[in-house]
Amino acid sequence: MVILLGILFIILAPLVGGLLTGIDRVITARLQGRQGPPVLQPFYDVFKLIQKESIQVNSLHRFYVYLSLVFVVFTSGILLVGGDMLLAVFALTLGTVFFVLGGYSTRSPYSTIGAERELLQIMSYEPMVLLTCVSLYYVKGSFFVKNIIAKDVPAIIYLPGVFIGLIYIITIKLRKSPFDLSTSHHGHQEIVKGITTEYSGRDLAVIEITHWYEVIITLTLVFVFFATSSVLSRVLAVVACLVVYFLEIVIDNAFARYKWQQTLKYSWIVTGVLTTLNLIVLSFFH
Amino acid sequence: MNAITVLIVFPLLAALLIFLTKNNTVRDMLVRIGAVITAVLTLAVVVLYFNDGISFNYPHEEIMDYIMVFVEIAVAIFVITIGFKNKKYLVSVFSLTQTSMILWFEFTQKNGIEVEHAFILDKLSAIMILIIGIVGSMIALYAVGYMKAYHEHHTDIPVRKNFFLSILFLFLSAMFGLVLSNNLTYLYFCWEVTTLCSFLLIGYTKTPEAKNNAFRALVYNLGGGLAFALAIVYIGMKFSVLELSTLVAMKPEVAVLIPVFLLSIAALTKSAQLPFSSWLLGAMVAPTPSSALLHSATMVKAGVYLVIRLAPLLGDSAVGRVVTLVGGVTFLACSLMAITQSDAKKILAYSTIANLGLIVICASIGTQESLWAAILLIIFHAVSKSLLFITVGSVEHQIGSRNVEDMGLLFRVSDKLAVYMIIGIAGMFLAPFGMLISKWVAMKAFMDSNNIVIVIMLAYGSAATLFYWTKWMGKLVTRARVKKHHEKHEFSLDEHIPIFIQAALVVISCFTFPLISKYALVPYLTQLFHKEALIPIGTSDVKIMLFMLSMLIILPIGFIPIYRGTKRRKVLVYMAGANTGDNESFRDSLGNTTKVDLRNWYMEGIFGVKRLTLWGNLISIGLLCAGVILLIGGLAA
């Protein structure tokens, strides 16, 4: 049963993720005073990419991208069936590490710089992601998503600081401006896109689909903060996810790219200050 | 006479025999046989006594005491003389003080203190023995091949292979004794022998740098030994107790916490925690097998072993808090500093110190869960780290450098070594490998025990850990082209076999950790806490972890048919249209051909070693001073 449910979610997740990306592109276009593509454009793009010829710079670099997809799918599977969050985060890290290794393995200057920057971004957001998991454990007594959302009081009541910190680093995870160092692109139209420079055709399609999964994974983290045992709260939680996603799009369009030093410093400072304060206040009541 | 005596005495005899053998071939054979027998003996002892454990005394305790006193005096004379000779007076002072103190205690105060169990083998010591015996003997085996190649590369260093190899075995013997002793004076004796061994190994090359670093290691560890000696005298005179197990069973009152604090200081120096960490970084000048031994199976593990033993007294006490925080500062600072290093051995050294910090945290928090994590961390760290060290040693001989920046070549020079190295690195930080499992439980344990600051430190340290290991892996998968004139060195079986076994151990230990937990950790912790211990990870999670591990092994193999099937067009890498055609260089704006040089990030400006070391040391010294003040305050109240 759980496995069937997992498979269903794994099929649905990229559809929703792709749709969200399409909405992202429409909203971004409108914010910039353009008409923009249709909402289903990301799917058209991916189908087109699959049909195109895949060329490669060496025989191994696409291997890492596929591995990355496998583990990101795995992560979303764990999260969506209500599994262990911390385990999911570790699996996600494994997936992202493979993505970075793919960038390194091309031995191309653009790709390598992209990989290094992606790695820096991982280092910037990783503490916050880990602390989000342990904070949820702290207030809910379990790492399992299904147990966390089975309680009566939503986690956001206890963890407002942690939640703001999470939103801050979601911007990095979604590779949105001002933290889009590793892809170095905006509006999805440049050719030289950092870590993905050397990928084409099917491999690029895989990267795009991986990104859809990542959108769902990050939004699941938001969902967990609002959902409780009641149905209404879960609807509210979905709304919260959409609001957060909209907020990220606005941030994406409102900021110029930061330098890597700023990315690292700001995200670490925001993480440190917010979680420390939040958890220390909580520990008085614990 | 039982199997345990054989286990301790055999490496000692092997050391003596190896030292006396002048013929290279015979000696190499002796080392191989000695290593294999040590490993077999280890297994035999563990199989024999694992279930029920054993505690015993030798019938003629006085004779043993006399032998020890004799050796202690001899060692002290040796150390004091070389201290004077090399103008390292602090060494002489430390040695003189502690030896005379211990001798005074032995002859005037010790009478009447009954020691019921001088030696105890329980599940924890069994695990330690396994690590020392298996990992240690693999390193000794590796040393045969390594030292041969080492002296071919370093012709300026006097060949004293018999000395080097015999010290390795002496080290193993001392470590066996250390983890089996329950009598604190025996423990202290072995403790000092390991200090001496490390001094001799670090100073092997006799270069001024090696000498200097060897003395630094000696000063720090003798300082720790001094604290140990003080603790023994205090415990012996105040409580008339000399047994570790009796000490640990006492109530954590201030009077008990004073020796516990002293023993913790000794453990922290041995485990190279801040502010005592510089000796381990200096120890890198020694040939690689000795670094591997110091970092994985012996020496530094002695320190954390002692902290784990003391765990019931640390827990919530002020001393425990201080030790936990020192571990936390060490973990964070050293993880960050590792980012700035490009020398592979330096990275490994910082990572060792950081991970020991993590073990110290887990041990000193002292809950069932955290101890579970601590012991598993010791196991996983020992196998992964020794694999990494000996691989780095062989890589250095293959590509002529141990700088990570040069390791892009490795896949082309020796794909086997590259794969072993990747396994070792993955074992250090990636899910679903061992270190990560323990880190996961550690996080849970810290939250359960309300250690918020420590969790935050752990989160940052983990992020940094991820960064420096991944960028190293990134270099390995780059597969740069080998220059034509590259001279390939033979990768001998003596090196290959232990590396292969270690790599297999890394993978096997990850697959079998639920069994280790079930048959060793859970019974041990249940007995220690008189409360049913549980495996801190749910069964479903364990299954998922093992599934992931299997995927990691199967997926690369599954890719082979896909590669055979496709014929893709191969193109040059993108260099803004100016690739000269070999992927190595591009045409610059003046029309010249410029070589592409890809380097990793080191971020010295942010994580500068000098600044971080200074702050780390200041904070940890502050913490230790706070511990002293708290103890004095506790005594006064």
| Model pLDDT for residues A80-91, shown as the tens digit of each residue | 998 899 999 999
- Residue A226 in tokens: 């609002």
Instruction: Give the helix ranges, DSSP H, for chain A.
Output: 2-31, 41-51, 61-80, 85-105, 109-140, 145-148, 155-158, 160-173, 201-226, 231-254, 260-285
Q: Which of B456, B540, B574 sits opposite A192 (nearest CB)?
A: B574
Spatial distance between the Cα atoms of B313 and B364, rounded to a whole number of angstroms: 9
Q: Which of A66, A35, A73, A62 minimizes the C-alpha distance to A213?
A: A73
B466/A93 touch (CB, cutoff 8 Å), yes or no: yes
pLDDT band at A185 (very low <50, low <70, confident <90, very high): low
Spatial distance between the Cα atoms of B338 and B341, rounded to a whole number of angstroms: 5
Q: Which residue of B has its CA nearest to A196?
A: B574
- Residue B382 in tokens: 């020992």
Q: Which of A55, A112, A261 sits opposite B568 (nearest CB)?
A: A55
Q: Which residues in chain A have Cβ-Cβ distances shorter than 8 Å to B572?
A: 57
Q: Which of B430, B446, B450 sits opposite A94 (nearest CB)?
A: B430
Any residues with CB less than 8 A from the CB of A113 and at least 6 apart, and which? A194
Spatial distance between the Cα atoms of B546 and A153, rounded to a whole number of angstroms: 34
A8-45 pLDDT, tens digit per residue, is 888 999 999 999 999 999 999 999 999 989 999 999 99
Q: Which of B541, B563, B569 sits opposite A87 (nearest CB)?
A: B541
B123-179 pLDDT, tens digit per residue, is 999 999 999 999 999 999 999 999 988 888 888 888 888 999 999 999 999 999 999
A112 pLDDT exceeds 80?
Answer: yes
B452/A64 touch (CB, cutoff 8 Å), yes or no: no
Spatial distance between the Cα atoms of B360 and B273, rounded to a whole number of angstroms: 9
Query: What's the pLDDT at B1?
Result: 56
B456/A83 touch (CB, cutoff 8 Å), yes or no: no
- B562-565 contact pairs (CB < 8 A, 24+): B563/A59
- B55-63 contact pairs (CB < 8 A, 24+): B55/B117, B55/B119, B55/B120, B55/B121, B55/B182, B56/B2, B56/B4, B56/B117, B56/B118, B56/B119, B57/B115, B57/B116, B57/B117, B57/B118, B57/B119, B58/B118, B61/B115, B61/B118
Q: Which residues in chain B have Cβ-Cβ distances shorter than 8 Å to A126?
A: 459, 462-463, 466
* H-run or E-run covering B191: helix B184-202
CB atoms within 10 A of CB B209: 10
Q: What are phi and psi of A144, to 5 degrees?
A: -80, 130
State how far residue A172 is from chain B, nearest Cα, in angstroms.
14
User: B54 by DSSP, 3-state: which?
Assistant: strand
CB atoms within 10 A of CB A261: 12
What parts of chain B have a pLDDT lower than 70? Answer: 1, 483-489, 563-566
Spatial distance between the Cα atoms of B218 and B197, rounded to a whole number of angstroms: 10
Does A130 touch chain B if contact means CB atoms closer than 8 Å? yes
Q: Which residues in chain A have Cβ-Cβ distances shorter than 8 Å to B466?
A: 93, 97, 122-123, 126
Query: What's the pLDDT at B493?
Result: 87
B474/A264 touch (CB, cutoff 8 Å), yes or no: no
Q: What are phi and psi of B70, to 5 degrees?
A: -60, -50
Q: Which of B431, B559, B600 sits opposite A90 (nearest CB)?
A: B431
B600/A116 touch (CB, cutoff 8 Å), yes or no: yes
Spatial distance between the Cα atoms of B442 and B369, rounded to a whole number of angstroms: 7
Instruction: Give the helix ranges, DSSP H, for B401-534.
Output: 410-413, 415-429, 434-448, 452-478, 493-516, 522-529
Does A174 touch chain B if contact means CB atoms closer than 8 Å? no
Does B85 touch chain A if contact means CB atoms closer than 8 Å? no
Does B464 touch chain A if contact means CB atoms closer than 8 Å? yes
**Cα–Cα separations (whole angstroms), residue B565 to A4, B253, B562:** 32, 71, 5
- Residue B158 in tokens: 């006097």
- B89-93 contact pairs (CB < 8 A, 24+): B90/B219, B91/B215, B91/B218, B91/B219, B91/B222
Does A2 touch chain B if contact means CB atoms closer than 8 Å? no
Q: Which of A57, A141, A71, A135 minimizes the C-alpha distance to A99?
A: A71
B479/A63 touch (CB, cutoff 8 Å), yes or no: no
Does A286 touch chain B if contact means CB atoms closer than 8 Å? yes
Mutate to test the interface with B, among A54, A76, A123 (most CBs of B within 10 A): A123
Spatial distance between the Cα atoms of A87 and A143, rounded to a whole number of angstroms: 9
Any residues with CB less than 8 A from the CB of B201 and at least 6 apart, and which? B164, B167, B168, B171, B286, B290, B293, B294
Query: What's the pLDDT at A188?
Result: 46
Q: Look up the ipTM and state it.
A: 0.94
Spatial distance between the Cα atoms of B344 and B505, rounded to a whole number of angstroms: 22
Q: Which of residues 536-575 of B touch A (CB under 8 A)?
A: 538, 540-541, 544-545, 548, 551, 555-556, 559, 563, 568-575
State how far residue A170 is from chain B, nearest Cα, in angstroms.
16
Radius of gyration of chain B (CA): 25
Amino acid A77 reads G
Does A284 touch chain B if contact means CB atoms closer than 8 Å? no
State how far residue A39 is from chain B, nearest Cα, in angstroms.
31
Query: What's the pLDDT at A189?
Result: 42
DSSP-assigned letter for residue B577: T
Q: Which of A182, A184, A193, A136 minimizes the C-alpha distance to A159?
A: A136
Q: Which residues in chain A have Cβ-Cβ distances shorter than 8 Å to B555?
A: 67, 70
**Full DSSP string of B269-309:** HHTT-TTSTHHHHHGGGS-HHHHHIIIIISTHHHHHHHHHH
The C-alpha angle with vertex B153 and arms to B149 and B155, in degrees rounded to 5, equals 115
B459/A134 touch (CB, cutoff 8 Å), yes or no: yes
Q: Which residue of B has its CA nearest to A285?
A: B450
State how far residue B269 is from chain A, nearest Cα, in angstroms.
29
Would strands B593-595 and B119-121 be described as parallel, antiparallel, or unpaired? unpaired
Query: What's the pLDDT at B30?
Result: 93
Q: What are phi and psi of A239, to 5 degrees?
A: -60, -45
Tracing tokens 């020392």 back to the chain, one arrives at: B132
User: A60 by DSSP, 3-state: which?
Assistant: coil
State how far residue B348 is from chain A, nearest Cα, in angstroms.
19
First to last CA, chain A: 36
Q: Which of B450, B477, B598 sits opposite A101 (nearest CB)?
A: B477
Q: Which of residues 581-620 of B touch A (CB under 8 A)?
A: 583, 596, 598, 600-601, 605-606
Q: Which of A54, A143, A286 sits opposite B568 (nearest CB)?
A: A54
Does A252 touch chain B if contact means CB atoms closer than 8 Å? no
Question: Sign of dihedral through CA atoms B227, B228, B229, B235?
Answer: positive
Any residues with CB less than 8 A from the CB of A270 and at least 6 apart, and which? A128, A165, A168, A169
Mutate to test the interface with B, among A58, A116, A284 (most CBs of B within 10 A): A116
Q: Which of B258, B202, B193 minimizes the C-alpha distance to B222?
A: B193
State how far residue A31 is from chain B, nearest Cα, in angstroms.
31
Q: Which of residues 263-282 of A touch B (CB under 8 A)?
A: 264-265, 268, 271-272, 275-276, 279-280
CB B167 within 8 A of CB B515: no
First to last CA, chain B: 50
- Residue A213 in tokens: 């999964």
Q: Which residues in chain A have Cβ-Cβ distances shorter than 8 Å to B478?
A: 104-105, 107, 112
